[in-house]
Amino acid sequence: MSTPDLVQMIKSLGDEPSRRALHGEVAAWAVSCHGAGVALDTATAELTTLWDGTPPLQDRAALATLEKILRAAYRNAEQGATADDERGRYLTPPPADQADADIITLPVDRRMTAAAPRAGLSETASDTGNIARAARLAAGRVCYVIEKDIFIEWVDGLWRRNDRVAMDLTLRVIDDIRREAEAASGQGADRWASWAHQSEALPRREAIVRGLKTAQRIAVSVHDLDTDPDHVVVGNGTLHLGTGELIESEPGHLNTRCTPVDYDPEAASEKLDEFLDLFLPDRAERSYILGVIAYAAFTIGNPKKKLIVILGDTNTGKSTLMELALRTLGDYAGSFNVSVFRGNLDDRARPDLLAVARLRLAVAFEASRRWALHDDQAKKMTGGDPILARRMRSDEMIELYPEFTPIIVTNAMPTIIDADTAVKKRLDVSLMDTQVDADTDRQEARDELVNDPEAQRALLVLLVEVFLANGGRFPRDTPQRFLEATMRAFDDLTPVGQFLGDLHETGQLIEVDPLEYEGQGYARTNYVTARALYAAYTQWVAEDRRGREHLGIRQLNDKLRGDYGWETTQSGDQRWRGKLLRSDLPWSADTPQMAPPPAPPDW
């Protein structure tokens, strides 16, 4: 069976389709695939291919979200839903009195509405009847999350985990039975009153809790939670990113995350303005960095497959800005350790990965050259591919799609072992390099800004504004300095680039202009020999302890010539022209000695 043409369906939407329109077309396409007899796995594989080659789809929709929509549409199609039904679920807002019934991410037979007619099991005086009664009372107020084996409760505009709610619900069941007894007459009243008394027994209450876990009426998948990319739950409602408007939070949104910060379009903060003016004085660079943070915070699944680096020295405000962003974004953001990018993909427990997988923004602070990120993991963490991870103290392997966009905040580029072109294309480097003295960048002032509610509200507004201005996309107008920094970072990603970077950083490798240097009368014999540099490289590999491949001297020389444009000269030995290596290196005792280079003029 051939699959329907999703590309043509998307083209019919115009050049700038909304997220909801794209989601609706994918859902309609899924129903068409189901009707054509296309297997779900085949349709999922086709969707992945189409997503990767269709810019409107890739720019505006996360692959993980689309796959959830696809699965839900297949389930709904099995219940008789049509393509127009599925398309309409995304394009038409539900009436206020039916908000709970129109849950676009759930199968048709799982709608959480207390107003729905009782279906399936009848509420008889039995354990089964008690379960049916509990499911009715729970609808729209309590859900059971299948994969996590937990109950969540609708409280203050958000679904929250509550391990007691199911047992508490059994008391409501008993009260409901008593009300039925009071409304009945004769033997019926006696029978219901007796059953209410029997239902108070702990075994019967526990039977209700066990039964609720099988009740389709309140069961949801973890993949149905927090799936709408247009929704950000804030302290005073739900922010709709498609319109920038604040709407009322509803159970049917199935949101379990929030930021406690209120959204006020008029919010402003003098402290935040002063901070941005000090550390990001260039307006274009400020807008770009805020746009990068907004993209990470407000998209699901990293649709542009970005690995973002914010680079700068100490006292440049980069960590303070990201700490303020984390505090502002609440449950949508968190920090991670380099272990998330660990190359070990065996069956060991990965609580680090499970903790961040479903965040939108994940931040790593103060990385360094000693960080070793592995190429294959970097791709998986930024590419929408499924990853298997085992829970702690469990043999259960979880397949998950990382939904976060990583931002690495660092003083120096970390190493990505075996980085190839695909990884380099994902890299985006921004600079925060306006350095102030330690007295100006005081810890007390940083803490005061990060914890200031006014600054948090103002930052939220700035992020929303720049996100909407960019059309919900990754910012396009990259400042020239940032483009150049990204290009330089490509070199730093390689082990040879890291080796040279370490030598430069410690002052052990000095580069001079050969014409000027030799014109001043300095001898070419001061240039480092290829053998001496290779000895330094060998020692560096041994001390680095990151399991690097040890290149041979010819391989190293070829890379220095081909990738870095180094030139050799012959002066008693093959030497690197214009490169001076200090003679007081820790490994110099084990290598042929050379005369220490004299200091060039003006050093």
Pick the CATH number of 270-492 from 1.20.1050.10, 3.40.50.300, 3.40.50.620, 3.30.70.100: 3.40.50.300
Q: 3-class DSSP state for residue 275?
A: helix
Residue ranges, the chain, pLDDT below 50: 1, 93-120, 584-603
Q: What is the pLDDT of residue 588?
A: 40
Check if the beta carbon of residue 185 is closer than 8 Å to that of residue 197: no
Using CA atoms, how far residue 283 sits from 84, 185, 276, 444, 474, in Å, is: 46, 77, 9, 26, 17
Please choose, from the candidates 195, 198, 194, 216, the residue with its C-alpha nearest in 3D space to the C-alpha of residue 121.
216
Check if the beta carbon of residue 567 is closer than 8 Å to that of residue 519: no
Q: What is the pLDDT of residue 418?
A: 64
Using CA atoms, how far residue 569 sits from 270, 282, 500, 523, 597, in Å, is: 59, 44, 19, 12, 16
Q: What is the pLDDT of residue 492?
A: 67
Q: What is the pLDDT of residue 24?
A: 86
Using CA atoms, how far residue 333 sits from 200, 271, 363, 440, 475, in Å, is: 43, 22, 8, 28, 20
Residues 6+ apart with CB under 8 A from 501: 369, 412, 413, 492
Residues linked to residue 311 through DSSP beta bridges, in sequence order:
410, 431
* Rounded Cα gap, residues 184 and 193, in angstroms: 10
274-283 — which CB contacts under 8 Å span 24+ positions? 275/317, 275/320, 275/321, 275/449, 275/455, 278/317, 278/434, 278/436, 278/440, 279/316, 279/317, 279/318, 279/321, 279/432, 279/434, 279/436, 280/317, 280/432, 280/434, 281/434, 282/479
* Rounded Cα gap, residues 309 and 364, in angstroms: 9
* Rounded Cα gap, residues 257 and 262, in angstroms: 14
Q: What is the pLDDT of residue 600?
A: 38
Whole-model pTM?
Answer: 0.69
* Rounded Cα gap, residues 536 and 590, in angstroms: 10
Structure tokens at 38: 């296309």
Q: What is the pLDDT of residue 417?
A: 66
